[in-house]
Chains A and B, each alone.
Chain A
C-alpha cells in the first residue's frame, strides 16, 4: 500500500514533465557570464575531470550529431552578483544556458523561491519531451540533487567557475 502511494506521488510530480519556466525571446539585458563547451562524443575527458562535468558531458554529448557544441550561459544584469554567490535568487528569470550549435535553450527561473526549469528551441517551442536529457526531470535530477555543486538551482564546479575569487 505504501509502495503504491509512493508510486502515485512520484508519478504525480513527474507526469508534469513539460517546461515550467517561461521562454525568453531575446537576450536583451542579459550578461554572458560563462563560455564553455560540450565536447563531442569521441572526446575522452582527462581522468581528473570533476565527476559532475563527466556526467554532464556523457548526458549531452549526443548533441549536434555527437560533434559537441558551444555552451553559453547568460544571466540577467540585475542577477549577476547573485549568480556569483549562487543566490539566493528572487523570483523571475535566473539564468539561461544555450547550446549554440543545436539551438537548445535551457531556462532556469525562480518561483516562490524555488528553481524551476524549461527547455526550448530558438522559436520558443517547448522541447522538453523531445529527448530524455532535455526533460525537466533530468534538469531536476542534476540541479536539485547535486547539493554540493548546484545551489539554489544554478550549478558550477569551482575549477570552471569564472567568478572563483582567488
Chain B
C-alpha cells in the first residue's frame, strides 16, 4: 500500500490538510458560538438598563407597585426571550427585604414577600369597611373606594400566593450560578445585574437562547460546505503537485531503461529544469556521456592494437 512516491506524497499531504481543516473548523465553530453568546449578553445587558432603573427605584422605596405597573410588565413581556426575572434587595431606609418575580408563563410580576399577617389584616380591614356601609352618615364614595382598594389588595395577595405555588421552579438552580452563565442543555442564559439604589440589589434574568440551536446547525452546514470545497481544491492541487514531482522522475526513469549506448545524452528529460530533478537529469547526462566515452575507449582497446592501431 502506498508504495509509490506519488501516493505517499498525496496521502501524507492529504492527511495533513484534513487534520488542519478539522482543527480550524472546530476553532471556527467555537469562535462563532462564543461571539454570538457575547453579542447576546451585551445586547440583553444593554436592553436591561430600564429594567434595572425601575427595579432600583422599587427596591429603594420598597415599592412593589412600581414593578407591577402594566407598563413595566408590558415592557418585560415585550421581550419574548425573557422567561424569568427576579428582583431582590434591601430597601434604602428601613433595610427591609424586597423580592419580586416575573415569569413569562404568567406574564405577571408577583411579590414574593409580604409582612406578617398581611392577609388577616386585609380581611379585618375589609370587614370593618363593609360594616361601615350601613352607617347613615358615612361617605359612601369614600368607603366604597376603600372597600374596592382592599379587595384589590386581597385579590393580588391570593393571586401571588397561587402563582408562587404553580410557577415553574426550573430556573431557580440557575440563580446560584455566576453571571453570565449559559445552560447549553436547556439553552438558557442567566444574567445578573446590580441595581443602583443605596443598599444595592440584584436583578436576575433568565433568557431563552434556543435560537442557538438553529445557529449551530447553520454554522455546521456552512463549515461542512467550506470543508468539502477546501478538500476538493486540496485534492486537485495535491494531484497536480504529485504529477509535477513524479512526472519528470517517471520520464527520466523510462529514459534510463534504454541501452545507454544508444542514448542521446543531450535528450535526457528535464534538463531544462532548475530544481532538484533538473540537477538529477544533468548528473544522468554527465553519467551517460562518461559511460559512453568509457565504452568507446574499452571497445577501441578490444578491437585495435594500441601500438600499431590495426585490428586485433
Q: Are A112 and B146 in contact (CB under 8 A)?
A: yes
Give every chain B residue within 8 A of A16 (Cβ-Cβ): 141, 144-145, 148
Tell me the residues in window 41-66 of chain B with beta carbons closer than 8 Å to chain A beta carbons. Answer: 56-57, 60-66
User: A148–B92 Cα gap in the complex (Å)?
Assistant: 8
Stretch at the interface among B23-31, B151-159, B298-306: B151-159
**Residues in A5-60 with C-beta less than 8 Å from chain B:** 5-6, 9-10, 12-13, 16, 20, 50-52, 54-55
Inter-chain contact A13/B145, CB cutoff 8 Å: yes
Q: Is the CB of B61 within 8 A of A13?
A: no
Contacts of A149 in B (CB 8 A): 61, 93
Question: How far apart sit A16 and B140, CA to CA, in the bound complex (Å)?
Answer: 12
Chain B at the A interface: SS class: helix
Nearest Cβ in chain B — how far from A44, in angstroms?
A: 16
CB neighbors of A among B117-139 (8 A):
125, 128-129, 132, 139
* Interface-facing stretch out of A65-73, A93-101, A138-146: A138-146
Nearest A residue to B147, CB-CB: A13
Contact A146 B152 (CB under 8 A): no
Asked if B218 is at the interface of the complex by the 8 Å CB criterion, the answer is no
B143 touches A145 (CB 8 A): no
Closest Cβ neighbor of A114 among chain B residues: B146
| Complex: A149 Cα to B61 Cα, angstroms | 6
> A131-166: which have CB < 8 Å to B?
140-142, 144-150, 157-158
- Of the candidates B65, B94, B125, B139, the one whose C-beta lies within 8 Å of that of A144 is B65
Contact A148–B61 (Cβ < 8 Å): yes
The answer to whether B197 and A148 have CB atoms under 8 Å apart is: no
**Is A13 touching B152 in the complex (CB atoms < 8 A)?**
yes
What is the 8 Å Cβ interface bit string for chain B, positions 244-270, against chain A (1 contact, 0 not)?
000000000000000000000000000
- A residues 99-144 in Cβ contact with B at 8 Å: 111-112, 114, 116, 140-142, 144
Which residues of B are in contact with A by a Cβ distance under 8 Å?
A: 56-57, 60-66, 69, 91-94, 96, 125, 128-129, 132, 139, 141-146, 148-149, 151-152, 155, 159, 197-198
Beyond the given A9-B148, A20-B141, A54-B57, please list 8 additional residue pairs across the A-B interface where CB-CB is below 8 A: A111-B142, A112-B143, A114-B125, A141-B66, A141-B69, A147-B61, A148-B60, A148-B94
Chain A residues with CB under 8 Å of chain B are 2, 5-6, 9-10, 12-13, 16, 20, 50-52, 54-55, 111-112, 114, 116, 140-142, 144-150, 157-158
